[in-house]
Structure 1
């Protein structure tokens, strides 16, 4: 919760993409094992191409939703997405990061992954 004396945010949106890697065969799996690193790179390139200077795309360690991976979370919105393809990333970029909407088919609920 922001306060009146807080400075303005440096970024309007901050996207954390899980790029955690566990050894192959680990029961929980890992987002990197499902291609999150290349998908993160794709998202970064597409955000730059779209001119989103006030949106930051970052790698994150384990976000603890491994079985749903790859996953990302958008703050300050607190919206979580599971994604698998460039088309999923394109939809998140256009609908959420550019348009301010939500990609309901990719959204994760708090109950998922617990």
Structure 2
């Protein structure tokens, strides 16, 4: 059964927004986030995360240029590299502004 992608899209959008906001302060463009297994199970209404679910979540993030590593029982460690991630137009504009602020221009 296909997953409801609203939760994943919301998490991805939050990660991108957070990363862009942090660029202006740190200059870093690679950030790490976590999605706990229990949070995913609740979001999807599942008792446990089956292999198909893990694969579907990995594929969702891979399509956006983001690494998602699953640790059984713990959840996903997400590595978002703003140089590789797929950005919405507004996010791309915000990143450009953050990079200008970070470089002092």
Larger RCO (CA within 8 A; separation ≥ 6): 2
TM-score, normalising length: structure 2:
0.28
TM-score, normalising length: structure 1:
0.26
